[in-house]
Amino acid sequence: MHHTRRNFIKKGSLALAGSGATFLFPMELLATLRKKVGPNDRINVGLIGCKGMGFTDLISILKISETNVVALCDVDESVLRNRTADLEKAGIKKPKWYTDYRELLENKDLDVVVIGTPDHWHCLQLTDALQAGKDVYCEKPIANSIQEANIMKDFVGESDRIVQIGQWQRSQPHFVDAINFVHSGQLGEIRLAKAWAYQGWMQPVPILPNTPVPVGVDYDMWLGPAPKREFNKNRFHFSFRWFWDYAGGLMTDWGVHLIDYALYGMKAGTPRSVMALGGKFAYPDDASETPDTLQTVFEYDGFSILWEHATGIDGGNYGRNHGIAFIGNNGTLVLDRGGWEVIPENEFKGWGKEPGKRMEAIPVQQNKDNGLDLHTVNFIEAVKSRDVSSLNAPIQVGYDAALVSHMGNVAYKSGDRIYWDGIKGEFKQEAANEFLKATYHNGWKLPML
């Protein structure tokens, strides 16, 4: 890590380059956005996990001309080839390839690491990156267990590195405006906040036989600390999300984004109790393990937060397939990635009488910005300034959302209403506490300070 270069990089400003749908950003356009920057001005970036959202994060970061990608790490050689070809369309020369992230972290030229791997890898890779002196942009959820989340929070707290979690809605202006309105008190007392993800695009995960490991894939490295299993396409790349060994289903996939904003709006921490009901109701006989239908209630003093998800249907609350609703005595604010609006409550004036409105309606305030691009700019600005307090999604934001989301999954797995002991940092039911723990396999060890 070159601290002198970092000090130099503090100078100058970053401009937000580009707008629109980052998730479908044309690489040829990226070439036109990037300006030439001297070697001493560059922030060198490496990506671990190049298949999906990690590469999207990298492209967003590369819209900032001061950044330079020097390393790609993936267990699948075909992914490395394809992503390198994508980068070449933007005029970016081939980065150095790695299959073992630990070798990437030994690269002394690297300043920033982007972690875009499956959830079960985040704890090891984040803590190793911090110990290697790298700043980190880590995809959500921060961990695949509450124990790992605690470890990661402790490591970041003991480090002087900059860590941004990929909950990019924290940088989306219309999300911020909506929460400011919630905090203004105009909705009146809020007794319930809802968050939901109804995902009509999700089809059954077909039952497939195990097969030999594809050529060019380091499957042992992909498994890492997860239990040893024969290779199965269902558990590889995108669909890992629906298997407990590697992730927590929709609760920790979409839930981390949306529950985060329910917590933010309600100024809420950990709940007093959690209960969850659901199961595999849409596709009971498919290959996935995580529930495709779930309702989870988080109890707080004076209000509750309700999480809902369902696969195969889009008919969510208020006609939206995802969102957050703050239901107040005067009105309800409904928020999703498209915008936010306020639906007023009627004032009952007696049977047969025309009701009045308790507050004025606010029509939909449309999203007009690219939250991910704003989020990565916020991260790189913090890398330059070394100001952790300027981050929009520091480790605490990622920790709070992951903790509550994992608590919902624990309630589902335990089948009970479970109560949280905030002093001990565990549930009052010993059976539920078994689901807090991370069990590592294949010689990998939980990181310890």
Structure confidence by residue, pLDDT tens digits, 94-143: 999 999 999 999 999 999 999 999 999 999 999 999 999 999 999 999 99
Express as a percent the part of the chain with pLDDT over 90: 88
Q: Where are the domains of the chain?
A: 3-170+372-394, 173-368+400-436
What is the distance between the alpha carbons of residues 250 and 116, in angstroms, rounded to a whole number?
17
Digit-coded pLDDT (tens) for 353-377:
778 899 999 999 999 999 999 999 9
CATH level 2 (architecture), domain 173-368+400-436: 2-Layer Sandwich (3.30)
Assign 3-state DSSP to the chain and report helix, strand, coil percentages, each to 5. 35, 20, 40
DSSP 248: -
* Distance, CA of 416 to CA of 166 (rounded, Å): 31
> Could you give the CA distance from residue 372 to residue 34 in angstroms, rounded to a whole number?
17
How many Å apart are CA 329 and CA 217, to the nearest integer? 56
DSSP 8-state code for residue 434: G
Q: What is the pLDDT of residues 407-434, one digit of tens each?
A: 999 999 999 999 999 999 999 999 999 9
The CATH number for 3-170+372-394, chosen from 2.40.50.140, 3.40.50.2300, 3.30.70.360, 3.40.50.720, is 3.40.50.720
DSSP state of 347: E
Q: Determine how many CB atoms are found less than 10 A away from the CB of residue 199.
A: 18
Do the domains 173-368+400-436 and 3-170+372-394 match in fold? no
Q: Which amino acid is at 45?
A: V
